[in-house]
Structure 1
Amino acid sequence: MPRAADAAGPERPFLAFVTHDMRDPLNALLGMARLLAETPLDEEQKGYVAAIADAADTLLTLVNDLLDLSRLEAGQLELASVDFDLPVFLDRLVTMLRPEAQRRGLRLEARVGPGVPARLRGDPARLRQVLLNLAGNAVKYADHGTVRIEVRTEPEAGPVVHLRFRVVDEGPGMSAGTVQRLFEPWTRGVDEAAEGPAGSGLG
């Protein structure tokens, strides 16, 4: 295993370089798709443009995630510290996930517990990244019921308020054995032979 890790080492700077250079053309593609969507189009053409924009946005997210991984491995990933509005943040998060939830016949909601402040200071981009992955997987694998994003306060430690974010769903869940292997590459949280969404086990 050490040899495999050493062999992969030189590829990481190259990966960071390539993904960094991919962002500009992807941003341009996404921008042009959005501008095109504002021109006179029939319904079929609007569908094509929306598909292009969605694909470009998904690929841009993947590229940014790869850059984050490179920074994390290099110890250079820094968290921002900015003020943001929690209700607005949650509303936008739910709005992003609602179309897929509706398509799958799921109810999607956010619930904020008592005592949770409306104004927070932290890194909303990283928080959104984590919650989109968790809630997105819940929407992907749940076949009925509700997917709920919950926020509640934890026991206070001095002047700092500690919050717990949790995603609750009625999906198939995972066995204790699967949980132990969850962070191994190529491991999926569902039975490989079972019907359901495909996945590589890397997300």
Structure 2
Amino acid sequence: MNTRSAALVADTGRRNEAVILNAALEAFGRKGFNGASMRDVAKLAGTSLSNLYNYFPSKSRLLAEVLRHANEELQARVRRAVADAGDDASSRMREAVRAYVGFVVDHQVAMLVSTNEVRYLDPDDRAALVAERDSTQGTFEEIVAQGVASGEFRTPYAADAARAILSGIGAIASWYRPDGRLSRGQLAEQQARYALALLEARLPH
């Protein structure tokens, strides 16, 4: 996996922790959970193996913390975008999709690791992550419900719409390239239009 993306964690309030988490994400992105070792993470972070264990007692715990930060960043972007959008469901969906696409583009490695390596989490950490993901999906489901209730969205498949939209956006991580034919903004707009088309949105002419 040669994909690179922006640093995920800016600061945690603990010295060197952000460096370690970003190094772990890079290691998991390059080698996968099984292929990457704690020694690999320590080397990328420029710290000792013993110091790494002072922060994280296991590789699974390290993965859980990386994915927690990724999900928190995604949730924050989507919620902020929805809050700043218009009151109508179409505007809220458009901005939610654009925000989600922006996260995938900016943090492509995190998205791939989240998809491919989540099975290695301990049961409690996996359950917590699934609950947080459900919360993000719930934001999209709420917008769909609003649009159906107002008549903006005419889809007969409202119950499955949010999941279908999020699946399509998530798949971008597997094929997106910064030098592709679409810019970041064009890709976000394309996906927003796809989402509104799937919802059979009544758009102004």
Q: What's the TM-score bracket when you normalise by the shorter of the two chains?
A: under 0.3
Structure of higher CA gyration radius: 1
Answer 1 or 2: higher relative contact order, Cα 8 Å, separation at least 6.
2
Larger helix percent: 2
Q: TM-score, normalised by structure 2?
A: 0.25
Give TM-score, length-normalised by structure 1.
Answer: 0.26
Flag the structure with higher strand content: 1
